[in-house]
Structure 1
Amino acid sequence: MFFKKIGESLIRKQKNFLKSFLLSICCFYGGFLGGNLFGTFLNFLRSQIPWDGTILILILLLFEFFNFLIYTKKLLNKKFLMIIKNIQIGVLLGFFIDAFKVGS
């Protein structure tokens, strides 16, 4: 009885994982691409906005708003939250990788 419930739970989790895997990977790579392209468009943003601190504050506020949406789960559905999380993780990883490229 106990092992049957565990087996059913694992099968259900595997099906949910397989349904959302492709969407998660696509959102992650889209965010990663956006994070890497941010350095390319940074010169354009610097010509439009006079202070670099403004750009950083806007990015920080955007990510904090996303975190607010993610952690107050009453507002949105689960699939949209998953999309936001994966895009956010991809963008932050893109920033991190781009920082290594600039530093070397």
Structure 2
Amino acid sequence: MTAQHELRLLPWAGPEGKPCYLDTDDREGYMSRLADHIEAVQLGMAAELLGQAHQVLDNETADLEKLRLLAAQLAGALRDVLRVASSRGSRLATPDYPEGE
């Protein structure tokens, strides 16, 4: 398992939207590298979407349908980014502090 003896949350969902996990110590293995690549793609897409969102929101004539589509896309990107953050956060080493600190 991972150094922290936890499963890695993968950046995609399984059947019925359930989370998928990877149990490996090999950060250079195929599945770890695939997950790293997909996380990078998801973060890049979220950054691009944020730029598009600014353009739509700056357009005072944007119609309701365009705003709804933007909201749906932003919700999906936020879901992906939160999954990446959760996965990466759980893999961070937590320092051991003496009691009382």
TM interval, shorter chain, is 0.3 to 0.5
Q: Decide which structure has greater helix share.
A: 1
Name the structure, 1 or 2, with higher relative contact order (CA <8 Å, separation 6+).
Answer: 1
Q: Decide which structure has greater strand share.
A: 2
Q: TM-score, normalised by structure 1?
A: 0.39
